[in-house]
Structure 1
Amino acid sequence: MSFFSTGPIENNPVGGVRTTQQLTVKIENRDLVNSGTVQVHGYVLDTTVTLYVVDPISVSPSEVVTRNYYANLDAIKFDFTTGGPAEDQIVISVWGKDDTGQLQAAHRVVREEL
């Protein structure tokens, strides 16, 4: 099993609107033969840490899975645990999007940063 985390992502309002409204997670299985799994946990970081996303995902060989999660919050963190025969071939990226679906570079986390 491998563990990856975005770490805390600050998303305070600017002019009354948060930069990121939605978080898109892309999961790619680069293994041509084996499947893998990813357990996604999303947390609201306030005065306490509150779990708000639990999403177990199976990823077939050569498959790309996209999930969208609510992110109109002041601070969040996402953790990913990979497993299965293809766990070393699973690549994860996280993308913040505004209310029109435009990518927000400030809230982009790619494989090398997880």
Structure 2
Amino acid sequence: MAIFSTGPIDNSPILGVRPSQLVTVKVVNRDSLNPYNLVIQGFLLNGSRTMYVNETVNLAPNQVLTKNYFADLDAFEFVFTTVEAVEAEVEISVWGKQNSGALVDPHRIVAWEKQAVLI
């Protein structure tokens, strides 16, 4: 099992508008033979840590999965837990976006930047 975290993401309003209103999560299963299960959890950070996303997804071999989540919050964090021991086989990226779909560069976390804790 591996746990990956974006860490806390500050999304405080600038001139009354938060930089990101959406979060796009892209997951790639690079294993050509084995399917994997991944738990996606999103947390609102507002003085306490409140879960607002809790979803288990199944990834087929060589599958690329894209999920979009609400992120019009002052601060948030996403945590990804693999059920199988697959750290090298699953890659995750997280992209903050405006409602228009424009990327928010400071809210971009790509596969090699994620924090991992192996269990």
- Superposed pair shares fold, TM > 0.5: yes
- Aligned partner of 1:29 in structure 2 is 29
- Aligned partner of 2:84 in structure 1 is 84
State how many pairs are aligned: 114
Q: Any unmatched runs of 5+ in structure 1?
A: none
- Aligned partner of 2:117 in structure 1 is none
TM-score by length of 2: 0.92
Q: Any unmatched runs of 5+ in structure 2?
A: 115-119
Amino acid at match of 2:108: R
User: Aligned residues: percent identity?
Assistant: 45
**In the aligned structure 2, how far is the partner of 1:85 from the partner of 1:5?**
16
**1:86 CA displacement:** 4.8
SS of the residue 2:88 aligns to: helix
Change (3 A) 1:33 1:86: farther
Amino acid at match of 2:76: I
TM-score by length of 1: 0.96
- Aligned partner of 2:61 in structure 1 is 61
**In the aligned structure 1, how far is the partner of 2:33 from the partner of 2:89?**
11
Structure 1's consecutive aligned runs of 4 or more residues displaced over 4 angstroms after TM superposition are: none
